[in-house]
Amino acid sequence: MADHDGVVFAEVEFPVQAGFAIAWGEDGLTAAGPCPRCAGRTEMMFAFGSPQGTKGFFGRARPTQPTKVTMYCECGYWHEDRPPESPDTGCGAYWSVDIS
């Protein structure tokens, strides 16, 4: 249940969050789950690129591949006090998701 109301925009760092759905694609992944601050559903795409092409993406060890990604709340709710110039579309929370 989303609970955006009363959550004023603030850049707040949260620890690693569990329970996010990770969907791997050819060039990266999509992580989706609830914001730990306002509980709004957030989905982000992460493109890692592939210097050697996409062939063998799943089979090869990729030392440059991160084990965590940083997500920002993108719940889409207009949280109070959000600066108009902010690139975020959520409450300002950010956190890491383990993708290893």
Contact positions vs Zn ion (CB under 5 A): 4, 35, 37-38, 40, 73, 75, 77, 90-91, 93
CB of 99 to Zn ion, least distance (A): 20
Question: Is 72 in contact with 66 (CB distance < 8 Å)?
Answer: no
Residue with Cβ nearer Zn ion (11 or 27):
11
Closest CB 19 distance from Zn ion, rounded Å = 15
Nearer to Zn ion, 65 or 82 (CB): 82
Nearer to Zn ion, 65 or 89 (CB): 89
Closest to 81 measured CA to CA, from 3, 11, 8: 8
Report which residue type is found at 95.
W
Rounded-to-integer distance, Cα 4 and Cα 46, Å: 25
Q: Residue 31 in contact with residue 46, Cβ under 8 Å?
A: yes
Residue 23 Cβ vs Zn ion, minimum distance, rounded to whole Å: 21
